[in-house]
């Protein structure tokens, strides 16, 4: 390469413009030649842990299910979490759930519980831990366990419970709550005891 210039300053400028890009390329090449090797596996432990947890738990956040029973009761189920049972793939274990049964005439039954299991084969939900049921005006119930038949739109309590109504408190061994043509029906059986509280005049 040969350059011809009339003065030394112009020659200096041209050489600088030529040499600087070459030096820059050389410096960049040394970065890759002398830099330490990066172990990409070092950034994976957290990812591996999260993936393993998801695969193991197969947990769904804020699941929501809805459908209509044989007697035209609209049923909605929501929860904080749901995960597949390790022993039976047809069963979901549910946490902090809410079930609402709504009749054709907007009569509602609301059930809340801390835990539950949804059996897809039997179309039933069994709830436990702080189970509360509210229905009709001035009716609520607290029990340890409750079963909701999604096909029939019926909620059943087969353990001792206490309920509060507009008439007073009711203790019984069994209870069935279901919607009928234009209303709700609550049936108590097995050792029913009613404590009546008359309303003040």
How much is the pLDDT for 168? 81
pLDDT digits (tens, 9 = 90+) for 132-158: 988 876 788 888 889 999 988 899 988
More confident residue, 46 or 141: 141
Domain boundaries along the sequence of the chain: 60-196
Q: How far is CA 161 from CA 88, 113, 172, 191, 198, in A?
A: 30, 14, 6, 11, 22
Six token digits for residue 120 = 């897809």
Q: What is the DSSP letter of 25?
A: H
Query: Worst-scoring range by mean pLDDT, 12-16, 25-29, 109-113, 174-178?
Result: 12-16
CATH 2.60.450.10 assigned to domain 60-196? The reply is yes
**40 — pLDDT class (breaks 50, 70, 90):** very low
Contact 86, 74 (CB under 8 A): no
> What does residue 50 show for φ and ψ, rounded to 5 degrees?
-65, -45
- How far apart CA 104 and CA 137 sit, in angstroms, is 17
Mean of all residue pLDDT scores within the chain: 76
How much is the pLDDT for 20? 62
Evaluate if residue 197 carries a pLDDT over 60: yes
Six token digits for residue 17 = 């413009």
pLDDT digits (tens, 9 = 90+) for 53-63: 555 556 788 88
Evaluate if residue 189 carries a pLDDT over 50: yes
């Amino acid at each position: 390469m040969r350059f011809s210039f009339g003065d030394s300053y112009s020659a200096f400028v041209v050489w600088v413009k030529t040499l600087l890009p070459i030096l820059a390329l050389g410096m960049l090449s040394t970065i890759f030649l002398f830099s330490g090797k990066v172990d990409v596996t070092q950034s994976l432990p957290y990812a591996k842990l999260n993936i393993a947890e998801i695969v193991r738990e197969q947990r769904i956040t804020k699941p929501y299910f809805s459908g209509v029973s044989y007697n035209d009761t609209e049923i909605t189920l929501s929860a904080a979490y749901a995960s597949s049972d390790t022993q039976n793939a047809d069963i979901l274990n549910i946490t902090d759930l809410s079930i609402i049964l709504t009749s054709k005439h907007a009569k509602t039954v609301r059930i809340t519980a801390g835990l539950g299991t949804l059996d897809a084969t039997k179309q039933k939900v069994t709830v436990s831990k702080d189970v509360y049921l509210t229905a009709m005006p001035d009716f609520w119930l607290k029990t340890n366990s409750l079963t909701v038949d999604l096909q029939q739109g019926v909620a059943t309590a087969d353990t001792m419970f206490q309920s509060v109504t507009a008439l007073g408190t009711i203790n019984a061994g069994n209870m069935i709550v279901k919607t009928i043509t234009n209303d709700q029906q609550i049936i108590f059986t097995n050792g029913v005891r009613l404590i009546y509280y008359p309303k003040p005049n």
